[in-house]
Amino acid sequence: MTTDSQTNNPEGTCAFCDVVKPDEHALRDHVLNVHPDEFCGLYHPQPCQHDRRERYMAALLQADPYALVERRDDRARFANAVMAVADAEMAALLRAAAEMAESLRQFEPATGARKAAQVSENVGVLRVAEALRRIADQAQPTT
């Protein structure tokens, strides 16, 4: 019997309940649909939006010594407002990073292997800049 490296459970067994699924994709769908709060921590290498909102809400609760945002609904509303501001700034930050990446291209004279390496590096820099702009376009808030 093999075990899942992420959960140390027998392969196909849900880490949160006794459900057994036939393959990894079915198990992932089960966790997403039945245990959505745990899904992000189990399957995403970086924090997802739900985790981010929870961290913002916890920070609001810690920053409010007088419990003015005691209700979870209020904290969620404030966290959403803060996330909207951060998201609006994210696109501009990514575009600035793309500009900085493009400024790193090298144009000094080179020959032989160094010239091929320089061309390769410049292509890589352009690809990074393009990827950053694509992410910025996706992060652009739609209002």
**What pTM was computed for the model?**
0.45
End-to-end CA distance of the chain: 51
Spatial CA neighbour of 93 closest among 126, 133, 52: 133
Span 77-92, average pLDDT: 78
What distance in Å separates the CA atoms of residue 138 and residue 126, rounded to the nearest whole number? 18
What distance in Å separates the CA atoms of residue 104 and residue 125, rounded to the nearest whole number? 7
The string of pLDDT tens digits covering residues 17-43 is 888 888 877 787 777 777 766 665 666
Is the pLDDT score of 4 beyond 60?
A: no
Is the pLDDT score of 136 beyond 60?
A: yes
**What percent of the chain clears pLDDT 90, i.e. is strictly above it?**
10
Are 27 and 18 in contact by the 8 Å Cβ rule? The answer is no
Are 140 and 91 in contact by the 8 Å Cβ rule? The answer is yes
The pLDDT of residue 1 is 42
The string of pLDDT tens digits covering residues 88-97 is 778 888 998 9
Length of the chain: 143
